[in-house]
Amino acid sequence: MSPAEKLRIGVVQMASSPLCDENSARVGEWLGGLRGQCDLVVFPENVLCLGRGSTIRSAATTEDAFLRSLRPSVAASGMMAVFGGVPILDGDDGAVRNASIVLDATGDVVARYDKIHLFQLRDGAGSVDETAIYAPGETATTFTCQGWSIGLSICYDLRFPELYRRYAPCDMIVCTAAFTQATGEAHWEVLLRARAIENQCYVAAAGQCGINAETRNQQYGHSMVVDPWGEVVSECEGDEETATVVAVDRERLQAVRERLPALQNIRLREGEG
């Protein structure tokens, strides 16, 4: 299948609560509202449960149970969807993975990426350690939508360009996130634009917003789509639930790569001295 010249991306910015059923219902509302407007809809990290670590861990479910909760809404919308940062029970050892799960337009799983880099912040009372909640993933993951090759990443992964370099042949990379105000204000946009520029691809980034009911953390929001030249094509307001729909353009992607053939000029490869 030849890639579509344009791909319609919907990036949803949510203020998820600690209540899974409530969040699942809101996801259904977003999918219904965007029906017919998008080929792919991207939801943020912790889309189904955002709260303290103990709350997230207790909300962990199997992949089958996750599918039962969201498959009907996705299938009814007729759009593909990325659900970033879902706590999934994995195996018999009770390990929980922070999984980004991609469903096709019929509600079937086409890809799953388990977050590789687990967030740690040493900041006194505001410290965070995701290694106390999750086991890390190990593998970069891609999928296709309308012939476009798309890589998956989650939040803290954004700070590790070696993962994104593995996605360099991709047309677009998705980053689902839950940046706080402090780290987001300092680093969010510059990291997204850097990853787009380095790999000469689109980056679609969906973030959490608002003040969380349980942690009281202010989430940064500012969900956005960045083009291969590093320009912000569209950006959501920082403090409100909203969505942006962008038609990303293959001609723009090819023009950037032809104008400045950086990917062809790579001299050092992973593992080389």
Catalytic residue positions?
Answer: 45, 115, 155
CA gap 220, 208 in Å, rounded: 7
Q: Which residue type occupies 121?
A: L
Q: How far, in Å, CA of 1 to CA of 148, rounded?
A: 10
CA 269 to chain CA mean position, Å: 26
Length of the chain: 273
DSSP state, 93? T
How distant, in Å, are the alpha carbons of 64, 193, 257 from that of 197?
A: 37, 6, 10
Helical axes 20-34 vs 63-77, angle rounded to 10°: 30
| Beta-bridge partners for 181 | none
- Paired strand residues for 12: 243
Among left, alpha and beta (phi > 0; psi -120 to 50; other), residue 24 is alpha
Is residue 2 classed exposed, middle or buried when 0-12, 13-18 and 19+ CB atoms within 10 A define those classes? exposed
Q: How far apart are CA 151 and CA 200, in angstroms?
A: 13
